Structure 1
């Protein structure tokens, strides 16, 4: 048992996950939210992930903390830039009692640390750890989801939302090499 969501077809071999079908990161609502959730959980568990996409993800700067897609001939330059610029721990969250701290280093010049401690914001973040239709959120949680999206801590696309920062459970050894 890997603890990975069963929503994406994949094979696990040791610490490696191979996604068997292309993932849709083009902003297509539920499918994109599910794909982001799956990649986030793979990263959280410390898996090396091999996956591919049929097209260019619509928002690479927001998604660049996720494991990049496998190399593909004739791919757009943005995907190779994603691979070359990706490092472990670019965006992650840690949980405390009644708060979550998020470190965002996706853009080194604007690195930020957030503390989510307002009860409604924290509840919305916890809800969005699973792909969630916006219609299922209360108006207060919808407003919180919009705030998280503005800070690029949640992806909101075509009526669906999902939290972006993984909870890192495994760091590479040595972790100071990052």
Structure 2
């Protein structure tokens, strides 16, 4: 029989990582779903599909909803925008990114207590229906300047191009370093900040292309699902 001194007394890093990953996955948002954009139509029998949690990857969940005919969703919990936001808010924001890119209408409440909303980092997402802690002029600007595909990326052979109009003028970023490209798919669903190579983290953060919340970094631009007309607005 082993003595007590032979027992493991240190934390297992793999077990800790599994625990963090489990907490991240379990933080998937709950949504209420409808089959139509129009508020009047949503009141008709059969158009409301009730509530359900969305714990899977945001892209897969939104693709599945759209194929099922969903055209409007409501996030049932307020979404915090700040750097100290919990995992549930980060997961909700990624769902917002995918739903915005798919052209769904989203009803949600934004919460900000550190002034980050004024920096327009999330102004490419479908504007909030309600807000807490955000100045009225910031919310009004968000709603007035919003248009589809305001910050998008598209893939080419060996590169990703980001077109960003969140801050007024068009900014173009071309990501073609193999080390950076290798992390983009994972960043779409959130990567532990400590696991990102320093150069990847630095370059994407300086360009304003990632958010960091709940110990994870995630990619802010939405993928192009449909090209708007006229395309020169993007």
Q: TM-score range by the shorter chain?
A: 0.7 to 0.9
Bigger Rg over Cα: 2
Q: 1:12 aligns with which of 17, 33, 49?
A: 33
Q: What are the equivalent positions in structure 2 for 1:124-139 lying under 5 Å apart?
A: 124-135=183-194, 137-138=195-196
CA contact (8 A) 1:71 1:80 kept: no
Counterpart CA distance in 2 for 1:73 and 1:118 is: 40
Counterpart CA distance in 1 for 2:153 and 2:176 is: 13
How far 1:81 sits from its partner (Å)?
A: 1.9
Give the stretch that moved more between structures: 122-131 or 67-76. 67-76
Q: Give the 3-state SS of the residue equivalent to 1:62 in structure 2.
A: coil
Q: 1:35 aligns with which of 56, 72, 92?
A: 92
Matched, 1:67 2:88: no
Counterpart CA distance in 2 for 1:38 and 1:56 is: 22
Aligned to 1:117: 176
* Structure 1: stretches of 5+ with no match in the other structure: 1-5
Render the CA deviation track for 1:8-63: whole Å, top value 9, x for unaligned: 11122121111111112122253443232111111122211110024457433111
Render the CA deviation track for 1:55-114: whole Å, top value 9, x for unaligned: 4574331111111110459962222221122111110001122211110111223x2111
CA contact (8 A) 1:99 1:117 kept: yes
Matched, 1:25 2:81: yes
Bigger RCO of structures 1 and 2 (CA < 8 A, at least 6 apart): 1
| Residues 1:133 and 1:72: Cα distance change in structure 2 (over 3 Å) | closer
- More helix as a share of residues: 2
Aligned to 1:48: 105
Counterpart CA distance in 2 for 1:54 and 1:74 is: 6
Aligned to 1:3: none
| Residues 1:35 and 1:17: Cα distance change in structure 2 (over 3 Å) | same
| Residues 1:32 and 1:144: Cα distance change in structure 2 (over 3 Å) | farther
RMSD: 2.5
Normalising by the residue count of structure 1, what TM-score does the alignment of the two structures yield? Answer: 0.81
